Amino acid sequence: MKTTILITGGAGNVASALANKLAQNQDNYIVIVDNLSTGSLSKIPKLQNVAFVKANVNNYNDVVPVFGRYNFDYVFHYAAVVGVKRTLENPIMVLEDIEGIKNILSLSKNSGVKRVFYSSSSEVYGEPFEIPQNEHTTPLNSRLPYAIVKNVGEAFFKSYFQEYGLEYTIFRFFNTYGPNQSEDFVVPRFLKSALKNEPIYIYGDGMQTRSFCYVDDNVDTCIKAMSSKNCVNDVLNVGSDIEQTVLSLAQNIIEITKSKSKIIHLPPLEEGDMTRRCPDTSKMKAILGRELITLEVGISYLIKSL
């Protein structure tokens, strides 16, 4: 018997990788919904058990026919406006994503979906009160529209379980990188510059910290979460627990690629560039059941994919 899975935002980097991995199991039938505002048709797997529907989940009339046509067992709601620069420049567009959250939950609740999975973000933590950032002890304090929407989304998922019994898992994604990722994100931007021996630009002094998770670790964790009882109706950090500065990331990429690129510092961003970011990944590692891919190995995979 086939398992039918909806992935919203499935033409994006992480969601398309998720679709591709799920589709390797012929017992799965994957339906991707995306309005292609930032996603790309080229990222959608060209497989017999993958279907694509161009639709905007923020528009109820767009997405309701999809639920009428298919009986979904699971839903991954990944559709969202992403990218620090884009989300800061388009706050109203970001806030409209709340409608998509409500639409997906309402339709899932009324159509027998077993569990919904939500791509939240490390941004909900804001400036850290503790490192590593733990799902249940670190306060959520960001004031940026993107983070507020993710936080509101988490509240909707929890509320739908409380009111209607619709089970959920919330993924708080930390920086994830991989093939086909746009240059809105730091790793592909630095890597492209390094491979061309062009300057690598960093906002501020580069002492802000991040951790970088290769997309395979992200996807494998999210798929294993489908069968794990340890994260039902719970929140799960998904990322790497190796904290490093943005400056050291640039230096590492220059070293790995043997680049002649120079690092140039730009004025700091006015907002949205948190000083530190690193997750507590103990729950993730228990679910994944293997070591995470190192940055050096992940960068080598990226270079091979170019």
26 and 127, same domain (yes or no):
yes
Structural domain span for residue 272: 176-211+241-278+293-305
133 and 29, same domain (yes or no):
yes
Backbone angles phi, psi at 174, to 5 degrees: -100, 175
DSSP 8-state class, residue 166: -
> Could you tell me the pTM of the whole model?
0.95
161 and 84, same domain (yes or no):
yes
Q: What is the pLDDT of residue 4?
A: 98
| Residues in the chain, total | 306
The answer to whether residue 181 scores a pLDDT higher than 90 is no
Give catalytic status of residue 146 as yes or no. Answer: yes
Angstrom distance (rounded) from CA 122 to CA 132: 12
Check which CATH number belongs to the domain holding 245 and give it.
Answer: 3.90.25.10
- Name beta bridge partners: 53: 33
Angstrom distance (rounded) from CA 187 to CA 164: 41
> Which residue in the list 146, 160, 177, 214 is annotated as catalytic?
146
Check which CATH number belongs to the domain holding 72 and give it.
Answer: 3.40.50.720
Backbone angles phi, psi at 60, to 5 degrees: -55, -45
Average pLDDT over residues 129-134: 95
Q: What are the pLDDT digits (tens) for 43-75?
A: 999 999 999 999 999 999 999 999 999 999 999
Number of domains in the chain: 2
Let me know if residue 285 belongs to a domain. no
The answer to whether residue 272 scores a pLDDT higher than 80 is no
Question: Which 3 state secondary structure label does DSSP give 14?
Answer: helix
101 and 224, same domain (yes or no):
yes
Closest CA to 124 of 107, 97, 146: 146
Q: What is the pLDDT of residue 95?
A: 94
Helices (H), 165-294: 186-195, 215-227, 246-257, 282-288
115 and 199, same domain (yes or no):
no
126 and 183, same domain (yes or no):
no
Q: What is the pLDDT of residue 273?
A: 81
17 and 123, same domain (yes or no):
yes
148 and 84, same domain (yes or no):
yes
Angstrom distance (rounded) from CA 106 to CA 269: 38
Closest CA to 66 of 78, 74, 57, 79: 57
